[in-house]
Amino acid sequence: MDSDEDVVAQDFGFGAFVAGTAGRLLHVATLLTSEPARPSGANPHAQRLVAAAFGATYAHWDRMRDEDPYVYARRELAVRFARAARRFRRGRGGPLSALTPRERLAVVLRLYEGLYEEQVAALLGLSVERVRALCEHAVGTLRSTPRRAVAR
């Protein structure tokens, strides 16, 4: 059984992780849900996704050895968004609101997070060709969308 000192160290380590990654994960979640980022608090769905991802990461925290906790939290965020995608079919005024939820997932993971197509495909359970097609279609949609509708 863990000593009190081990639990405190674990909690401190997780707290430092959250402090260092919360902003980026919230931005990822806000892009996925296509909610406006401003004013503050205008993205409740994104905030709930991040809280759930952090909760799952904390539950797994003491078993992480060689695994990057950010990668784990991002995967949890993506999986939870994909499961709830039916709630996010229509954009909520964010910059990616013209895209479908699956296109948003592919574009955010590929272009914002900088994952390789193979990594995105593995995470989403799709073929590399499908990820490539989703990204190409999404970028085409964004290019053809009037700027004022994209940048609200």
Amino acid occupying residue 120 = V
Amino acid occupying residue 99 = L
Q: How many domains does the chain have?
A: 1
What percentage of the chain exceeds 70 in pLDDT? 86
Pick the more confident residue, 131 or 8: 131
State the Cα–Cα distance between residues 100 and 114, nearest whole angstrom. 20
State the Cα–Cα distance between residues 12 and 18, nearest whole angstrom. 10
Task: Find the radius of gyration of the CA atoms of the chain.
Answer: 17
Task: Print the domain residue range for 13.
Answer: 4-150
Query: CB 104: neighbour CB atoms within 10 A?
Result: 24
CA atoms within 13 A on the CB side of 3: 3
pTM of the model: 0.84
Residues 76-80 have a mean pLDDT of: 96
Q: Which two tokens stand for residue 14?
A: 């997780």
Give the CATH number for residue 103: 1.20.140.160
Phi, psi of 75 (to 5 degrees): -65, -45
Supply the pLDDT for residue 57: 96
Residues 32-46 have a mean pLDDT of: 82
